[in-house]
Structures are given as C-alpha cells and as structure tokens.
Amino acid sequence: MTTEIIKYLGDRLAERIGISPPAARGLIKLAIADELGPLTPLNQINFNDLKVVIEKSLKLRLKNLVQNIDSTTNYMLDKLIKNQSLITMAKV
C-alpha cells in the first residue's frame, strides 16, 4: 500500500513542478533511500517516515529543481497528511 501513496505523491509532485510522474516517483524513492537507507523495504515505511523524507531529503533534492522549495515541500506535506489513511489502512 505504501507504493500507492508514493504513486499518489509522485503524481502530485509531477503536476506541481512540471516533470513526468515516473521522474517524480523516482525523486521520492531516491529521497527515501537517502533518508532511510537503500535497503529499506517500501512496504515497511510509515506515515512518520514519509513525513521526515519530505521535510529533509526530498526538500534537498528539490533545491536544484524548483525556486519555491518551502511552498512545494508544504504542498507535499499537505497531500501526505490529507491522504494519511492510505498508509494507515495498509498497516492494519
């Protein structure tokens, strides 16, 4: 189910910064690897992990792609929070 939230967030990020959805999902997955380690299984990532990834690693990766980093980061956090149920339902 975590892959569904990554797909959703990647689609929103792609719309926001004008890149392809696969590229945006790749950015998110690279940020996950940066923050949590390259061997972390995606199905073991929880809401708090994703929140930290967006606030730290994804924000750093966006530094060279967008001018409004804080606005984009806040947008992504908002989308994560509003769709938190996608993650919590998977963990039940």
From the CA atom positions of the chain, what is the Rg in Å?
Answer: 12
Distance CA 91, CA 74 (A): 25
pTM for the model stands at 0.88
Query: The tokens of 6 are what?
Result: 């990554």
Query: Is it the case that residue 92 has pLDDT exceeding 90?
Result: no
Query: Is it the case that residue 88 has pLDDT exceeding 70?
Result: no
State the residue range of the domain holding 29: 2-91
Distance CA 53, CA 10 (A): 13
As for how many domains the chain has, the answer is: 1
Residue-wise pLDDT for 20-66, tens only, equals 999 999 999 999 999 999 999 988 899 999 999 999 999 999 998 89
